[in-house]
């Protein structure tokens, strides 16, 4: 039987962790979890303040999710989706269509969010070659700066987080990029209140000029999470839908992070009454239990891929574990919990509590901005509050605050200078209050330490 020391050693030396500098990496091994609490191999408990990276919805170890998975396990663990299917995946597709914005009628399953985006980009590209009349010149995509759509080469090509993607730029395809509507740091000469209109005007101008070479616009509805919880102004998503429709380009909504209740509605697009042409889901789709993602498509897109086998209109794309029945069973159970426990109905009260809990943070001297949408929040730490001057990323100030929170029993993971709060929707009031208290103290402590660096001897 391996010991704790073995696991630590293997985790440190043999596992290559995602988005992690392995030099100096200190293992944190989670052995079990229950509700919103994670337990490490030493028995330390941590509140899961970011839903195990934006995935978990109803808490860990939920009896109904566990039962759905183990029940499916007694039937079959995996079936390919190449030319065949399985009952849970079929039912899940039907139920997603029922719940999604009207018009999204077909579901292509993959395993991870990046794969759902990748599929959407390739569908959009192929659509224009097969639609009648074909418009094969429509090959480029429009994306927003600081967008994040995953780490495969296609999804990174439409991504815009420089620190993640710059290294791979020579491998990526060219994309039109537009500044996002950022109210905290508006473009020069633009008022915060006008950033949405300004960004839409730029989109309009680009599409007016180049739509005949553009396949689609990809957007993270309502919030660009990985950009540092950049919350778009109300109406922006609707504005993008209007512009894309007017100029005849597809709209791809990447709801991998904001979907599945996170923004307050099951689908984020519902908030603005928008039906995109393609919609990507991931992360919380299975309640955050198993890897599964989905690309939803409208009837016209699906139709463009129909034809005799010899016409080669088939979508030649797919992943081995797409439509996995265990994952589909978990996703169905998650939808059942949404309905049975009236999860969405319970959210406004929690969203409000989160908003009230964030208020005192905004007054702290190193907090520049606090942004929230539904159960998603970002707290941006700044060196100079008045001038909105960021800390240099090398200082790892967000990480310093999260290290302190961890020692106080709250697990958070920052995005540069932005501390992210994205607790499971099942978080209890008392747990949410504790996360906010711990975070507030952590930020105060970091502010103190930056103002008066401790000497090494103390």
Ligand X SMILES: *Cc1c(COP(=O)(O)O)cnc(C)c1O
Tokens of 399: 């990480």
* Sole residue written with tokens 């949408």: 373
On whether the CB atoms of residues 337 and 266 are closer than 8 A, the answer is no
Element containing residue 33 per DSSP (H, E) = strand 30-34
Q: According to CB under 6 A, which residues from 329 to 358 bind ligand X?
A: none
Look at residues 47, 15, 62 and name the one whose alpha carbon lies nearest to residue 288: 62
Give the Cβ contact number of residue 107 at 10 Å. 21
Q: Is 289 in the site for ligand X (CB under 6 A)?
A: no
The reply to whether 414 sits near ligand X by the rule CB under 6 A is: no
The two three-digit tokens of residue 386, written as one number: 């008045």
Name the segment binding ligand X (CB under 6 A); options: 98-106, 148-156, 160-168, 269-277: 148-156
The only residue of 65, 222, 257, 422 in contact with ligand X, by rule CB under 6 A: 257
Instruction: Name residues whose C-beta falls within 8 Å of residue 187's C-beta, 6 or more positions apart in sequence.
Output: 179, 195, 198
Show the site string, 57-96: x = touches ligand X by CB under 6 A, - = not. ----------------------------------------
> Which residue(s) pair with 38 in the sheet?
33, 46
Least separation in angstroms between residue 198's CB and ligand X is 23
Nearer to ligand X, 237 or 382 (CB): 237
Between 149 and 404, CB nearer to ligand X: 149
Number of residues that bind ligand X (CB under 6 A): 15
Stretch that binds ligand X, among 230-238, 249-257, 319-327, 329-337 (CB under 6 A): 249-257
* Interaction between residue 117 and ligand X (CB under 6 A): yes
**E strands in 238-354:** 250-254, 278-281, 293-298
Binding status of residue 226 toward ligand X by CB under 6 A: yes
Residue from 59, 180, 216, 282 binding ligand X (CB under 6 A): 282
Of 4-43, which residues contact ligand X (CB under 6 A)? none
Q: Which stretch binds ligand X (CB under 6 A): 36-44, 59-67, 250-258, 335-343?
A: 250-258
Residue with tokens 């086998």: 309
Q: Where are the alpha helices (DSSP H) in 225-324?
A: 236-247, 299-304
Spatial separation of the C-alpha atoms in residues 177 and 160, rounded to whole Å: 8
Nearer to ligand X, 231 or 367 (CB): 231
3-class DSSP assignment, residue 313 = coil
By beta carbon distance, the residue nearest ligand X is: 113
Stretch that binds ligand X, among 142-150, 234-242, 344-352, 425-433 (CB under 6 A): 142-150
What is the spatial distance between Cα 290 and Cα 343, in angstroms, rounded to a whole number?
A: 20
Which residue's structure tokens are 């942004």?
371
Q: Does 256 bind ligand X (CB under 6 A)?
A: yes
Looking only at the bridges linking them, the beta strands covering 104-110 and 140-144 are: unpaired
Among 108, 125, 148, 289, binds ligand X (CB under 6 A): 148
Tell me the window of 113-121, 233-241, 359-367, 374-382 that interacts with ligand X (CB under 6 A).
113-121
Q: Which two tokens stand for residue 450?
A: 């930056």
| Binding residue (CB under 6 A) for ligand X from 49, 59, 150, 423 | 150
Q: Interacting stretch for ligand X, rule CB under 6 A, among 144-152, 345-353, 428-436, 439-447?
A: 144-152
Residue 409 CB coordination number (10 Å): 15
Contacts with ligand X, residue ranges (CB under 6 A) = 112-114, 117, 148-150, 220, 225-226, 254, 256-257, 282-283
């Amino acid at each position: 039987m391996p010991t704790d020391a073995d696991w630590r050693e293997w985790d440190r030396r043999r596992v290559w962790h995602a988005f992690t500098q392995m030099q100096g990496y200190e293992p944190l091994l989670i052995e079990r979890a229950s509700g919103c609490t994670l337990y490490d191999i030493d028995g330390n408990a941590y509140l899961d303040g970011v839903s195990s990276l934006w995935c978990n919805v109803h808490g860990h170890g939920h009896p109904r999710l566990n039962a759905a998975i183990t029940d499916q396990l007694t039937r079959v663990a995996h079936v390919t989706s190449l030319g065949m299917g399985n009952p849970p995946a079929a039912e899940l597709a039907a139920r997603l269509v029922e719940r999604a914005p009207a018009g999204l009628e077909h579901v292509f399953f993959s395993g991870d969010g990046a794969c759902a985006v990748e599929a959407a980009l390739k569908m959009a590209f192929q659509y224009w070659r097969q639609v009648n009349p074909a418009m094969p010149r429509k090959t480029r995509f429009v994306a927003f700066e600081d967008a994040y759509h995953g780490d495969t080469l296609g999804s990174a090509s439409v991504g815009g987080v420089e620190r993640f993607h710059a290294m791979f730029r020579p491998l990526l395809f060219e994309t039109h990029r537009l500044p996002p509507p950022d109210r905290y740091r508006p473009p020069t000469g633009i008022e915060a209140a006008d950033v949405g209109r300004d960004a839409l005007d730029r989109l309009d101008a680009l599409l007016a000029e180049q739509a005949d070479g553009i396949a689609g616009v990809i957007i993270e509805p309502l919030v660009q999470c990985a950009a540092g919880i950049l919350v778009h102004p109300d109406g922006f998503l609707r504005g993008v839908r209007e512009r894309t429709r007017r100029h005849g380009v597809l709209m791809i909504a990447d709801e991998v992070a904001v979907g599945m209740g996170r923004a307050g509605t099951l689908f984020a697009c519902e908030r603005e009454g928008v039906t995109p042409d393609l919609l990507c889901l991931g992360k919380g789709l299975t309640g955050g239990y198993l890897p599964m993602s989905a690309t939803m498509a409208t009837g016209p897109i699906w139709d463009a891929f129909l034809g005799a086998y010899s016409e080669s209109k088939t979508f030649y794309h797919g992943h081995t574990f797409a439509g996995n029945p265990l994952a589909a069973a978990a996703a169905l159970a998650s939808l059942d919990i949404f309905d049975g426990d009236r999860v969405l109905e319970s959210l406004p009260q929690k969203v409000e509590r989160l908003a009230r809990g964030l208020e005192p943070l905004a007054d702290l001297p190193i907090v520049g901005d606090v942004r929230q949408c539904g159960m998603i929040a970002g707290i941006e730490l700044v060196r100079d509050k008045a001038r909105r001057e960021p800390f240099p990323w090398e200082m790892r100030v967000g990480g310093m605050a999260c290290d302190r929170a961890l020692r106080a029993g709250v697990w958070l993971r920052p995005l540069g200078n932005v501390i992210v709060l994205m607790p499971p929707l099942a978080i209890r009031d008392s747990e949410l209050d504790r996360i906010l208290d711990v975070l507030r103290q952590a930020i105060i402590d970091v502010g103190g330490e930056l103002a008066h660096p401790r000497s090494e001897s103390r």
